[in-house]
């Protein structure tokens, strides 16, 4: 299981900004540092700014910066904002009628792993990731 690209990019941006909290970064600088397509990054940063996860300041000295305490920003908030959390409730094989009562062939293997992933999203804050590896 992987994050969808938008969630992947959003988390990468937020972790980068967490590691460089004292500085503002333009969309161009984020694009160059993280190799995220520029137009795509602009739309993503707008979503993050609209949700007040980052602050944006216009002008030559402007850019994006994290606005909240890192221990108040969790991965589930980022994933939910950009793509929603519905994928973490779905059957891994795509069946509409997969449940404990009507399981697919991978249900018993997938459900505990899915719950671990959801726990990681809900329990991991940017503060937890701030001092980790840069890549």
pLDDT, tens digit (0-9, with 9 covering 90-100), for 56-73: 998 877 899 998 899 999
Q: What's the pTM value of the predicted model, to 2 decimals?
A: 0.86
Model confidence at 4, pLDDT cuts 50, 70, 90, reads confident
Answer whether residue 31 shows pLDDT above 80: yes
| Beta-bridge partners for 63 | 57
Structural domains of the chain in order of their starting residue, each with its CATH number: 5-129 (1.10.10.10)
- Which pLDDT tens digit goes with each residue over 79-128? 999 988 888 888 989 899 999 999 999 999 999 998 999 999 999 999 99
Phi, psi of 124 (to 5 degrees): -100, 120
| Beta-bridge partners for 23 | none
Residues 123 and 101: their CA atoms lie apart, in Å, by 29
Answer whether residue 135 shows pLDDT above 70: no
40 closest CA partner among 48, 73, 120: 48
* Portion of the chain with pLDDT greater than 70, in percent: 96
Residues 27 and 18: their CA atoms lie apart, in Å, by 15
Residues 72 and 84: their CA atoms lie apart, in Å, by 19
- For residue 133, the model assigns a pLDDT of 66
């Amino acid at each position: 299981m992987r994050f969808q690209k938008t969630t992947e990019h959003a988390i990468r941006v937020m972790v980068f900004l967490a590691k460089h909290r004292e500085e503002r970064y333009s969309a161009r600088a984020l694009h160059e540092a993280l190799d995220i397509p520029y137009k795509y990054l602009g739309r993503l940063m707008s979503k993050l700014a609209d949700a007040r996860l980052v602050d944006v300041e216009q002008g030559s000295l402007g850019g994006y910066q994290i606005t909240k305490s890192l221990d108040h920003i969790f991965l589930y908030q980022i994933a939910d904002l950009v793509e929603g959390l519905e994928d973490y409730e779905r059957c891994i094989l795509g069946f509409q009628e997969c449940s404990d009562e009507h399981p697919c062939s991978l249900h018993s293997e997938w459900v505990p792993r899915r719950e671990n992933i959801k726990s990681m999203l809900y329990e991991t804050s940017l503060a937890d990731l701030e001092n980790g590896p840069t890549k």
